[in-house]
A = this chain, B = another copy of it.
């Protein structure tokens, strides 16, 4: 691998987009694959995703939802059943048309014209249609409800402009799909999933979010209502980090998901779907990263503590390594955040500062550097990655007796987890500004602030043409309505678009 530079070359305040790319590259999280719009997720990035999967999956299972696996391919005819849904996805899907290649007579290969599929297959952009077909087989009586399923899968949406983790043609996600007897039960499930996402993202990713309903123009194709969790990145832009949809009976009608109620009458199910994806990894980077690279919340860090022996390629190394191995074992026996501490002893050869910087950029919560003198004196030298790092200030390392560190390591990791959340929330809250007129919105975003944040306003939900005019007005300023928060204070003012007495609060922002 090429030599690792020490610090990042780009600061957040100078070019946030370039900084983001550099963090991903220097932390060795992912890279372009050579396949259009698809990335390769490297061990450090995938390790974080595995942690996310495990912690989210525990929550999904605890809610009584059962994992299944459904086909990658969706026949065109399935997809065509749900008109509004197709409309929303039809523009960006990978289409399989052949099932064999054949030589082109010039040493190359081409799709075999004899092996054209009678019906093209779509690589799933989401699985409502194919899971709906299964639900129609599985649901017969009210006793079969609720039907609660989830799958972990890859999906493909043909994106024109891609950005690693945030928008890639192929991405990894979980998609929950549930069927219920009535609107109330389905809405309750939709909001349960939303709250599960909020709790997950705030607890495990230390990423504060606002839960709320998306405006009509931002609904999932075919949904009756779409809810989201919205996080603010350090450049003030919004990131939709998870969505939960109440689908009404539309998909049930299209797929024929019916049940016989207790009175013997055939009824259509009310369905929901909800999803989170590798996009959350991008959100984590843009929430916690600093000018030295990534900072990973301990709950999702593949290694929470890395021990770096200061090897000198001399016979004394053996004693030093034995000391470090003891330390590793002691730490691995401790707990933090309800699990065993994940600790790595990095014995690879290489210069100490280079190795330290590699782990700083990867964002490992705690780094221990152990030299011969530390070993002899029963000491450790500790760096907390969440504290501001400064190459010149070696003072950031704190020396302490080994036993003291082992005893406090779990609590220290828990402290880092909370500290990252508190820091991110303070940053976010400082960038939320209340406005009471559209002129204030214009002024707020027209100013020469590079990272202005969001505005909080009040409105009356517009209908029909009114909505389109609001959307266009905002679009001119590159703005979108993020959501109408669920737990907002009561409104008291006027709708910023119509001047009528307001009914709801909304957040307006630039967004990823």
* Chain A residues proximal to chain B, CB less than 8 Å: 1-2, 31, 33-35, 38-43, 46-47, 49-50, 66-76, 78-80, 86, 90-102, 108-111, 120-123, 130, 133-134, 137-138, 140, 143-144, 149, 153-154, 156, 158, 170, 172, 349
Contact = CB atoms under 8 A, between A and B. Distances in A.
Number of copies: 2
Contacts of A121: 35, 94
Contacts of A75: 34-35
B109 A101 contact: no
Given A35-B73, A38-B72, A74-B35, A90 B101 contact: yes
A137 B67 contact: no
A138 B73 CA distance: 32
Given A46-B67, A96-B96, 10 more contacts: A33-B70, A38-B73, A46-B69, A47-B66, A50-B67, A72-B156, A72-B170, A79-B109, A93-B101, A154-B154
A154 to B, nearest CB: 6
Contacts of A34: 75, 78, 130, 133
Name, among A71, A94, A111, the residue most crowded by chain B CB atoms within 10 Å (CB to CB): A71
Contacts of A143: 349
Contact of A71 (B40, B46, B74, B120): B40
Contacts of A108: 76, 80
22 contacts: A1-B144, A31-B137, A33-B71, A33-B130, A33-B133, A34-B78, A35-B71, A35-B74, A39-B71, A41-B69, A43-B67, A43-B149, A46-B67, A47-B66, A71-B170, A72-B156, A90-B109, A93-B99, A93-B101, A94-B96, A94-B121, A95-B99
Query: 9 smallest A-B Cβ distances: which pairs?
Result: A38-B71, A43-B66, A41-B69, A95-B98, A35-B71, A99-B158, A97-B97, A95-B111, A94-B96
A154 B31 contact: no
Contacts of A120: 98, 110-111
Nearest to A87: B103
B101 A94 contact: no
A122 B137 CA distance: 32
A41 B46 CA distance: 25
Contact of A40 (B73, B79, B92, B134): B134
Nearest to A74: B35
Nearest to A94: B96
Contact of A68 (B41, B91, B100): B41
Given A50-B67, A69-B41, A72-B170, A97 B99 contact: no
Contacts of A76: 101, 108-109
A31 B134 CA distance: 9
B172 A69 contact: yes
